[in-house]
Amino acid sequence: MHFYLEPGGSLTGSIRVPGDKSMSHRSIMLGSIAEGRTSVSGFLEGDDALATLSAFRAMGVRITDPEAGRLTIEGVGLRGLRAPEQVMDVGNSGTSIRLMVGLLSGQPFDSMITGDQSLLRRPMGRVITPLSQMGALIGSREGCPPLEVKGGRALEGIHYDLPVASAQVKSSVLLAGLYARGRTSVTEPAPTRDHTERMLNGFGYPVDTQGGVISLEAGGALTATDIDIPADISSAAFFLVGASIAPGSDLTLEHVGVNPTRDGVIRILRAMGADIEIMNQRLVGGEPVADLRVRHAPLHGIEIPVEEVPLAIDELPAVLIAAACAEGMTVLSGAEELRVKESDRIASMAEGLTQLGIENTTRPDGIEVVGGEMTGGVIATHLDHRIAMSFSMAALRARDRIKVRDCAHVATSFPGFSELAVRCGLQLEVADE
C-alpha cells in the first residue's frame, strides 16, 4: 500500500487523533496484573497496542474486544498470569517486547516473544543488561529478538543508572521490580515519558520520584481502576507540523495528552516560530490534557535543545519536515536513540529529504537540515510508520507530486490516518502498486 500526494493545500477544521499508544500498551499490561476489573476508554485500536492485548490474552487474561476505544480487563493479579501455549508475536511493537520482557522476567513460567522482520533487527541489549543484573535469564539472537525468558527466577532489586534516557528501559526495569526482592530504582540522565509511574500510582501501587531517581518496593498489589486515554501527541505532531507549514491552515486538535514528559514537540515548534495555542487545559485521570489550535506561521531554523530530545523522541521525524520548510538551518543532536527505532530514523529522514531536494548532513547522533524548496519524488519508508506520515505532510509544501511507498505500517500507531488527513485537506490517495 502506497500514499500518493498532490502538492499544496492547507489543513483546517477540528479533529481528534487516536488514543495515546504508550498509555494503551500500559493500560493492558497493568490492568492485566491488577486485582479486579479495569475499564479503559480512548484505547488505540492500532496494530501495536492490539499485539499487546493479544499477548496478555494468551497468558489467560480476559479482555473484551475494543469497541470505539472502550474495553474491559479482568485482572488476574500480580501472580495470576499463565504460561502461553505458544510463542507470543508482538509484530512491529518495540514497546510491547521491551516492557513485557521485564514483566515476564518475574513469572514462574518460561515464555518467548518474537515479532516481524523489522522488530527482529532491533537491539534488546539495553533491557537485557539491567534485567540480567536483577537475576533474569533471557536468551536472544545476538542481542535481538526473539527473546526467550526463563521462568522461576528469584529477582533482586537493583539500582540502575540508565546510560541513555529511555522510557522503555526504565519501564521494563520497574515492571521487573514488582517481582523482585526489596527496592528497585532507576536514575535517568534526562526526563523521559512517565506514563508507567503515573499509571502504577493510579492503580494504587506507590512509585517514588525524586531528583531523577524513580523507585518502588516489591510486595504491593495493583487495584483495578478506570482509565481515560487522551489523544496521542505523537499522532497529533504530524498535524501540528502540517498546519504550521501550509499557508491558510487553521486546525484544532482536541483532547490531546500534554504530559510534561511528552510535550517537547510543542516547545520545539514554538521555538521555530509556530503558532500553537494551548486551550482548555485540564486533568483527566491524572494526565494533563488540552486542545491545541495551530495556524500557519513562517518558521526559522534552530538548534534543537538537547534536553528536549527525550521529550519529543517519536515526534522528531515530523519536526524535520518543519525544518525543511524553515528559513535557515535546524540542528538536531543527542538523538542517537532514533537510530534504533522501527528504522534508522536519522538515515531514513535524510534519505527522504535528499529525494525532495533538501540539503542535509547526518551525524551519529543527529542531523543538520537546511530549509529550502521541496520538489516531489518517491519516498522509501523502510516500513516505518512515522517516516510515512512525516513525508505525507511534506506534500503540503512540495512543488510536485510525492509518492510514499510501503505505508501499511501506519496502522501500527494511527489507524485511519489517511481518511482523517484527507478530511482536513491533505490531497492524499491510497493505492496499491
User: Catalytic residue numbers?
Assistant: 314
Which burial class, exposed, middle or buried, applies to 279 when counting CB atoms under 10 A from its CB (0-12, 13-18, 19+)? exposed
Q: How many CA atoms within 13 Å lie on the side-chain side of 285?
A: 21
CA distance 390 to 220: 42
Distance (Å, whole) CA 266 – CA 234: 11
250 burial (CB, 10 Å; 0-12 / 13-18 / 19+) is: middle
383 CA to centre of own chain: 16
Three-state DSSP class for residue 388: helix
- C-alpha distances in Å from residue 258, one per residue of 189, 211, 424: 22, 21, 22
For Cα atoms 17, 19, 23, give the angle at the middle one, nearest 5 degrees.
Answer: 150
Residue 213 CA to residue 127 CA, distance in Å, equals 18
